[in-house]
Amino acid sequence: MSITEAISRGAIPVGDETDLVEAYFERGWTDGLPVVPPTPEKIQAVVEALGGEPGFVECKVAPRWGLLTREVMAINMVMAGCKPAYAPVVRAAMLALTDQAFNLNGVQATTHMAAPLVIVNGPIAREIGMNGGPNAFGPGNRANATIGRAIRLILLNVGGAFPPDLDKCTLGNPAKYTYAVCENEAQSPFAPYHVEHGYRAEDSTVLAIAAEAPHSVTDHQCNDPEGILDTMCSAMSTIASNSAVLSGHCMVVLGLEHARTIAQHGWTRSDIRHYLWMHSGNRFDAISRGHRYGQVYNRNLPKWYKRNPDSRIPIVPSPDNIHLFVIGGDAGRFSAFIPGWGHMNTPVLRPVDAGVEAQGPECAGGVCAI
């Protein structure tokens, strides 16, 4: 019985001796780790943070197309260890993930290891204590960890993407436990990501993108933009990722030391993205393997790419398909490249609450498929 079915039938009675953690394991309502038992008081606090109306359906979650009511969202948030204050971010993330452009059905069921990555910008990240600094993608921060985990529990319990039945991922990815982070706006030398995309600095947004885990980009040698970004290009230019052979979108994370070095030379976010697009990529002959195995990858590349053996095949079709963030701590000349899932996924940027929509860029309802 799913968690949604359990709610519809009323609370499940338990005795004084019931081990609630084990009971949830037995019912298959966890991500493989112990969960916080969702008491009525904790559930109600989150429902109120979402605006009340526990039966209100926020969205349907693929591939089972389960109804995500506010009560069900609250239960999964409590089980993940979230505070009620995190509710607007979790809701915005789920609305972004279930936007048609994102193709959650495909992401949930693919054999690829892509996981939904959520990046938060704006004041709410600071208000709830998210970490965009040291070890941002790692453990130790409650908001990052539990927001990402709540999203995953919803994808499992409401979307039904349990392996091996509906989740067909060949290898999996640790990011499928939790994958939520914020940009280090306070220390970044550049305007935040959401400002680059038309929002005000005082707006709060979430970007949802299907992505692999971060790939480390180490450069302790170069002290100019070209050198640092050439190192990034080397990490981007591999035929082993979906981005290389299936186009689509990708994410570049600049650590603070690299970002500051680049900014000191007067480069802008646009300069960086255009340089990376222009100087990353592979020869078509390398991508196609000289057509030794047929033309399977040929058909997945944009029609306007030249297909001569020496033609350059960009990692993504446009500089706008490179999503640039500044994340990380003060020490260490490290950055990261995060490949996407290919043309099958379109990242979605949306405001955290409805009050922001009227102030955002001119996208449908304030929501932008990037």
Domains of the chain, by residue range, sit at 1-212+346-370, 214-340
pLDDT tens track for 314-338: 999 999 999 999 999 999 999 999 9
pLDDT tens track for 102-129: 999 999 999 999 999 999 999 999 999 9
Q: Is the pLDDT of residue 274 over 50?
A: yes
Contact call for residues 331 and 208 (beta carbons, < 8 A): no
How high is the pLDDT of residue 18? 82
User: Which two structure tokens, joined as six digits, stand for 297?
Assistant: 């990858």
Residue 89: which H helix or E strand, with range?
A: helix 87-97
SS3 content of the chain, % helix, strand, coil (to 5): 40, 15, 45
**Rounded mean pLDDT of 260-268?**
98
Q: Is the pLDDT of residue 355 over 50?
A: no
The DSSP letter of residue 123 is H
Q: Is the pLDDT of residue 76 over 80?
A: yes
Contact call for residues 232 and 335 (beta carbons, < 8 A): yes
Return the beta strands (E) in 267-346 as ranges: 282-283, 312-313, 322-326, 334-339
Contact call for residues 257 and 332 (beta carbons, < 8 A): yes
